[in-house]
């Protein structure tokens, strides 16, 4: 039997929103400007997940991966801001999942390695219909995942034991974050990562409806146990 889910944390890119094309386009535009080779979507899929700086660094010619990275990063972020919503879109049925969580008073948040200011733009554009308890992007006092600081900050904020929080993401980084925070790890198969590499103890879902089913089942099981034991 699963643990009752009282709150949910989502990764952003590759979990809630398919953003890879806008990210690749913006970074390729930056590379073209400097006369560097550009890259295809599959290469960007391999680089996403550890933050913008890591992605930009990986895309540069090897001899350019030095102290100047911040200059390239600024250019990439400028182009990404300008093109943040050209091709990106919510994954199918994610909206239904947010509606369900809202209707059932289950709090939810975002914990992403995307820089905070870019995260805020994406959330404002695509997700303002829903009320996230917190949106934690990368900023100075929250280290990159798999460091669990951001996730545990959310748990503390809502005064919830981490073991009742479902942490959902598309990559190994998310699974490692969930385990480090003592939360319930769940991998999604529709994103950019390979969360199933962690072994059998991690649930892997193929569509958002399965997340809904899992939350429903665990909640109903707990309620029926409470009924039978008179708790």
pLDDT tens over the chain, length 231 residues: 567 899 999 999 999 999 999 999 999 999 999 999 999 999 999 999 888 999 999 999 999 887 678 899 999 999 999 999 999 999 999 999 999 999 999 999 999 999 999 999 999 999 999 999 999 999 888 899 999 999 999 999 999 999 999 999 999 999 999 999 999 999 999 999 876 655 567 899 999 999 999 999 887 766 655 555 555
Domain assignment present for residue 1? The answer is: no
Which spans in 18-115 are helix H? Answer: 20-33, 41-47, 52-59, 69-82, 94-103
Query: How many CB atoms are closer than 10 A to CB 106?
Result: 15
CA–CA separation, 29 vs 102, rounded Å? 39
Give the torsion sign (CA, 226, 227, 229, 231).
Answer: positive
CATH number, domain with residue 187: 3.40.50.1000
Q: Indicate the DSSP class of residue 140.
A: T
Domain end call among 82, 117, 133:
82
Query: How many CB atoms are closer than 10 A to CB 231?
Result: 8
Give the torsion sign (CA, 79, 85, 86, 92).
Answer: positive
Domain assignment present for residue 190? The answer is: yes
The predicted structure's pLDDT at residue 230: 54
Q: Give bridge partners of residue 87 from the DSSP assignment.
A: none
What interhelical angle do 208-229 and 94-103 show, nearest 10? 20
Domain assignment present for residue 167? The answer is: yes
CATH number, domain with residue 47: 1.10.150
Predicted model pTM: 0.91
Burial class (CB within 10 angstroms; exposed 0-12, middle 13-18, buried 19+) of 224: exposed
Report angle CA 154, 156, 162 to the nearest 5 degrees: 80
Together in a domain, 117 and 102? yes
The predicted structure's pLDDT at residue 49: 82
CA–CA separation, 91 vs 111, rounded Å? 17
Burial class (CB within 10 angstroms; exposed 0-12, middle 13-18, buried 19+) of 133: middle
The predicted structure's pLDDT at residue 140: 81
Give the CA diameter of the chain.
Answer: 70
Domain assignment present for residue 108? The answer is: yes
Domain end call among 82, 111, 129:
82
Q: Are 211 and 168 in contact (CB under 8 A)?
A: yes
Domain end call among 82, 106, 134:
82
- Who contacts 175 (Cβ-Cβ below 8 Å, separation ≥6)? 169, 185, 187, 195, 198, 202
Domain with 128, as residue range(s), is 7-18+90-229
What interhelical angle do 69-82 and 20-33 show, nearest 10? 130
Q: Are 200 and 168 in contact (CB under 8 A)?
A: no
Together in a domain, 128 and 177? yes
Together in a domain, 169 and 209? yes
């Amino acid at each position: 039997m699963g643990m009752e889910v009282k709150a949910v944390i989502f990764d952003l890119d590759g979990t809630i929103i398919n953003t890879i094309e806008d990210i690749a386009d913006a970074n390729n535009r930056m590379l073209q400007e400097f006369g560097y080779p550009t890259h295809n979507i599959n290469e960007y899929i391999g680089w996403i997940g550890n933050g913008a700086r890591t992605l930009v660094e990986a895309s540069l010619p090897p001899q350019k991966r030095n102290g100047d990275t911040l200059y390239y990063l600024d250019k990439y972020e400028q182009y990404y801001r300008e093109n943040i919503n050209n091709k990106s879109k919510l994954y199918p049925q994610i909206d239904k999942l947010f509606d369900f969580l809202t209707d059932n008073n289950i709090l939810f948040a975002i914990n992403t390695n995307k820089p905070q200011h870019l995260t805020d733009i994406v959330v404002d554009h695509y997700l303002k219909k829903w009320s996230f308890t917190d949106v934690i992007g990368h900023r100075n006092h929250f280290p990159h995942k798999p460091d669990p600081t951001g996730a545990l900050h959310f748990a503390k904020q809502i005064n919830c034991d981490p073991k009742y929080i479902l942490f959902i993401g598309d990559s190994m980084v998310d699974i490692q974050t969930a385990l480090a925070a003592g939360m319930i790890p769940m991998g999604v198969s529709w994103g950019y990562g390979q969360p199933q590499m962690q072994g059998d103890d991690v649930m892997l879902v193929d569509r958002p409806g399965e997340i809904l089913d899992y939350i429903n089942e665990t909640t109903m099981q707990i309620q029926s146990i409470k009924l039978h034991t008179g708790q």
